[in-house]
Amino acid sequence: MQTIIKKYSAVLKINWIQALEYRANALVGVVAIISGLFIEYQIWSLIFESQNLTNVNGFQFRELMIFIFLSIMVGQLKSSWHTSGEMIEGIRTGDINKFLIRPISYFWYHFMMFIGVNSLYYTVYSLLLFILLIIFPGLIFPAAINFIGFILALLISIFLSYSIYYIMICFAFWFGEVRAIVVAYNLTMLVLSGQYIPIRLFPESIIKFMEITPFIYLVDFPVSIATGRMPIGLWTINFIYSIAWCVIMWIIGILIYNRGIRQYEAYGS
């Protein structure tokens, strides 16, 4: 077990080293995070001011801002533009050969890579969360249990999101190029997971539909726990559902990979 942890933490470490190699890229990434939050703030303050609103679907301005800020953060932490693009390219060009010839799991290697690539965001967002806690006391993590619940739900969201990406990526074994599917999924998820507009602002029928999909666990679930919008009584059942979705997606991914790898033609010399 210790050697397995060492093996995969080495993958994580080399991704950090790689990320730090490009200082300008890292800096632009941080600026992009902050500017994204600023734009959201401007849009919603304009909406509230122009319409003279005091609340929207039970959200006061400050509450909505916190909910949206957290949603953007969680959405960013579970997104996989970089890793999924690299994995698809690897299958298409034969670059995954270098992983297949080593005693390492393709799934877990890239999961650690996914975490490694997003680590820069984890650091910046942790700092931002700390600042938000000071500026808006009581609106985030009303109790210590909310913080623990949020971290657990966030870990589930990251794993679930990666597992869904993994399924799409594995179709590259048959079709070669599947980036269009990933891009379409990413764009759809920006809305359906509640990353930019909270699902709670959607009509009831859409919320009901979303509740039977895994997508609700990607952003809305951890953010609702963090802001105290989900009663503690509902946590257990939602944790069970979210973990079940993780297992289902993980197994589907493994099955598709095992079929796909037989199709793989190890392109290039």
Partner 1 sequence: MYIKISNLTKSFKMFKRSAGLKGALKSFFSRQYTNFFALKKINLELKKGEIVGILGENGAGKTTLIKLMVGLLYPTEGDVVIDGYSPWKRDHEYLRNVTIVMGQKNQLWWDIPASESFLLNKHIYQIDDSIYKETLNELVDLLDVRDKLDVQVRRLSLGERMKMEIIAALLHRPSLVLLDEPTLGLDVISQSKIRDFVKYYNKKYNATFIITSHYTKDIQEMCERILVLHGGKQMYDGKFNELIKAINPERRLLFEFSIPPEESYIHNLKGKFKFELNDNILTAQLPESELKDLLSTLLNQFSAQSMSFEDLPVEETMKNFFQNPQDYL
Residues that bind partner 1 (CB under 8 A): 3, 6-7, 9-11, 14, 17-18, 21-22, 94-95, 97-98, 100-104, 261-262, 264-266, 268-269
Q: How far apart, in Å, are the Cα atoms of 117 and each of 98, 147, 196, 223?
A: 19, 24, 22, 22
Q: Which two tokens stand for residue 143?
A: 């109790």
Mapped onto helix, strand or coil, the DSSP state of residue 98 is helix
Mapped onto helix, strand or coil, the DSSP state of residue 114 is helix
Minimum CB–partner distance for residue 168 and partner 1 (Å):
22
Minimum CB–partner distance for residue 18 and partner 1 (Å):
6
Minimum CB–partner distance for residue 107 and partner 1 (Å):
13
* Residue 118 neighbours by CB distance under 10 Å: 22
Q: Which is nearer to partner 1, 25 or 188 (CB)?
A: 25
Minimum CB–partner distance for residue 11 and partner 1 (Å):
7
Minimum CB–partner distance for residue 74 and partner 1 (Å):
29
Minimal CA–CA distance to 179: which of 165, 159, 196? Answer: 165
Q: Which is nearer to partner 1, 21 or 204 (CB)?
A: 21
Q: Which is nearer to partner 1, 101 or 180 (CB)?
A: 101
CB crowding 47-60: b at 16 or more within 10 Å, else e: ebeeeeeeebeebe
Which residues, 6+ apart, have CB-to-CB distance to 173 below 8 Å?
Answer: 91, 257, 259, 260, 261, 263, 264
DSSP-derived letter for residue 203 is -
* Residue 34 neighbours by CB distance under 10 Å: 11
Residues in a beta bridge with 6? none
Q: Which is nearer to partner 1, 97 or 186 (CB)?
A: 97
Minimum CB–partner distance for residue 82 and partner 1 (Å):
13
Minimum CB–partner distance for residue 256 and partner 1 (Å):
16
Q: Which is nearer to partner 1, 18 or 45 (CB)?
A: 18
Q: Which is nearer to partner 1, 101 or 237 (CB)?
A: 101
Q: Which is nearer to partner 1, 73 or 113 (CB)?
A: 113
Greatest extent of the chain over all pairs of C-alpha atoms, in Å? 65
